[in-house]
Structure 1
């Protein structure tokens, strides 16, 4: 459940590239006016899941306040017709009050995002992106939705001269949202030692292991041996990414990584192997924001108090 005055915010990076790759660089500031236009026109939305859920950008504001980096704040909305209807319980009696959805409605949530309009130092095509943690509006869903909105908003508006063909050709912006790993977590892994990797497969309709039927096989575990000289962890290790992809292809649901901390204690982290899970870094950098105003589960417009707290984190 979402807290009325507290929300977690995760740190991400928005990569903005040009398509095709040999086209000129597009700055995020050049794209913003077109994105704002489709928001104003009510066209920044997408229906999914056979039109039973919807994603929208419902509000925006551009910050140029002194003391804060220039930034864009967006308010994302997600509505799901298949989500369970909310139920309220009286704290004293336990009596329940059920609020059913009406025809065509879906349970709705909203999440703020703050995007710095100045590229990250040393990464000319990458911008800081903070996202409020709300179920249904995580990075794996916001990423493809925002990519489509920016692509559609700028369609047919940019062109360049292709010298190889001696002709004018159109190009467009393409975005990708990447997670920013927690520094403490990365340090913990880099200073520690990788102890083992396991692929886990959930078993469906498994036969019982004993005659009485008390025990059933629930999962199978494949232990993966590390090659000599590869005991150190690298968060961008292509071999580990390849193992996750192999696991997904061969029916494995999870990947468990065990490692020893510098202090000698052993820890383990489990990640999924699905396409959405592959977008997520093990542990993202995050921050808890507390405000003195109520935060709705789904708001029609940006909460300026909450947005101000997010903007103060952009320079971190």
Structure 2
């Protein structure tokens, strides 16, 4: 990764070359043995941002220029001290940012090492074999959805869209639609990983159709529910993986060009606390 980053080659074109993911910045904390990485993702097909004047309500669209894509970023901190013996695994913290998440970063890291690194090892028969790392970002489980669905089942998905004021439901405008809801019935066999895959497929479709919020219900002993935004990269992650809220005294931008010191310091502190 370091070599590719230093030579400007830590980038991959994806989605038929309409999007790109890259390592934007790297910092190594040698004293605490923590690596900080800033990932950027830019998408030509993403909708142009729209701004509204708070007083007049006037809208302004900022179009992308040729070759540009709407950009987002996420910070990652990697503990360079193995967290397990045997086949070593390493603790990592990933910023929860809409548009870029584990499902984009994991194959990108594998791609970087496939293009630039080879490891040789001696097989039992004495021959020398070549291999390369394959990254697997596995979440530290929380006590929510994935474990529940192993024995329970997904029962309902609900999509919620808040309608702008002024959308008349009748011709005279006496009734104004404020919220539009779609409830989707779920097949009885929607359990386990099949249910998780269904949630993420519906999330992507709902986002494309303009439904920013999604609610699911599932049964595991009793009925439970959770709501999240469809803009999340991996809808299930926020329900299944352990999450920690961190705050910032400074406004956070949609996309950063360099690692934010306050985000770096907060992630460092969390890793040090996990080691204790």
Q: Which residue does 1:290 correspond to in 2?
A: 247
Q: Which residue does 1:197 correspond to in 2?
A: 153
> 1:55 aligned to 11, 21, 32, which one?
21
Q: Aligned partners of 1:292, 1:278: CA distance in 2, in Å?
A: 27
- In the alignment, is the contact (CA less than 8 A) between 2:36 and 2:77 conserved in 1? yes
Q: Give 3-state SS (helix, strand or coil) of 2:8's partner.
A: coil
Against the structure 1 CA distance between its residues 103 and 278, is the aligned structure 2 distance closer, same or farther, given a 3 Å change threshold?
A: closer
> 1:162 aligned to 99, 123, 134, which one?
123
**Structure with greater Cα Rg:** 1
Q: Which residue does 2:131 correspond to in 1?
A: 171
Give how far 1:109 is off.
0.8
Task: Give the TM-score normalised by structure 1.
Answer: 0.63
Moved more, 290-299 or 72-81: 290-299
| 1:106 equivalent in alignment to 2:58 | no
Q: Give 3-state SS (helix, strand or coil) of 2:75's partner.
A: strand
Against the structure 1 CA distance between its residues 123 and 313, is the aligned structure 2 distance closer, same or farther, given a 3 Å change threshold?
A: farther
Q: Aligned partners of 1:132, 1:53: CA distance in 2, in Å?
A: 20
Q: Which residue does 1:223 correspond to in 2?
A: 188
Against the structure 1 CA distance between its residues 37 and 161, is the aligned structure 2 distance closer, same or farther, given a 3 Å change threshold?
A: same
- Residues 241-288 of structure 1 deviation map (CA, whole Å, 9 limit, x = unaligned): 3x559x87xxx969963123xxxx6314699xxxx9798584221112
* Unaligned residue ranges in structure 1 (runs of 5+): 1-34, 203-216, 226-238
> 1:305 aligned to 253, 257, 262, which one?
262
* Unaligned residue ranges in structure 2 (runs of 5+): 159-181, 204-215
- In the alignment, is the contact (CA less than 8 A) between 2:156 and 2:185 conserved in 1? yes
Within a 5 Å distance, the mapping from 1:22-37 to structure 2 comes to 35-37=1-3
Against the structure 1 CA distance between its residues 123 and 292, is the aligned structure 2 distance closer, same or farther, given a 3 Å change threshold?
A: farther
> 2:44 aligned to 54, 71, 81, which one?
81
Q: Which residue does 1:240 correspond to in 2?
A: 192
Q: Aligned partners of 1:133, 1:83: CA distance in 2, in Å?
A: 19
Moved more, 36-45 or 291-300: 291-300
Q: Give 3-state SS (helix, strand or coil) of 1:146's partner.
A: helix
Q: Aligned partners of 1:290, 1:282: CA distance in 2, in Å?
A: 20
The higher-RCO structure (CA 8 Å, 6+ apart) is 1
Q: Give 3-state SS (helix, strand or coil) of 1:286's partner.
A: coil
- In the alignment, is the contact (CA less than 8 A) between 1:72 and 1:116 conserved in 2? yes
- In the alignment, is the contact (CA less than 8 A) between 1:63 and 1:70 conserved in 2? yes
- In the alignment, is the contact (CA less than 8 A) between 2:84 and 2:90 conserved in 1? no
Give how far 1:223 is off.
2.5
- In the alignment, is the contact (CA less than 8 A) between 1:181 and 1:282 conserved in 2? no
- In the alignment, is the contact (CA less than 8 A) between 1:110 and 1:134 conserved in 2? yes
How many residue pairs align between the two structures? 231
How large is the RMSD of aligned CA atoms in angstroms? 3.6
Q: Which residue does 1:126 correspond to in 2?
A: 89
Q: Aligned partners of 1:286, 1:218: CA distance in 2, in Å?
A: 28
Against the structure 1 CA distance between its residues 289 and 244, is the aligned structure 2 distance closer, same or farther, given a 3 Å change threshold?
A: closer
> 1:137 aligned to 100, 104, 114, which one?
100
Against the structure 1 CA distance between its residues 294 and 98, is the aligned structure 2 distance closer, same or farther, given a 3 Å change threshold?
A: same
Q: Aligned partners of 2:88, 2:245: CA distance in 1, in Å?
A: 28
Q: Which residue does 2:11 correspond to in 1?
A: 45
Give how far 1:310 is off.
0.7
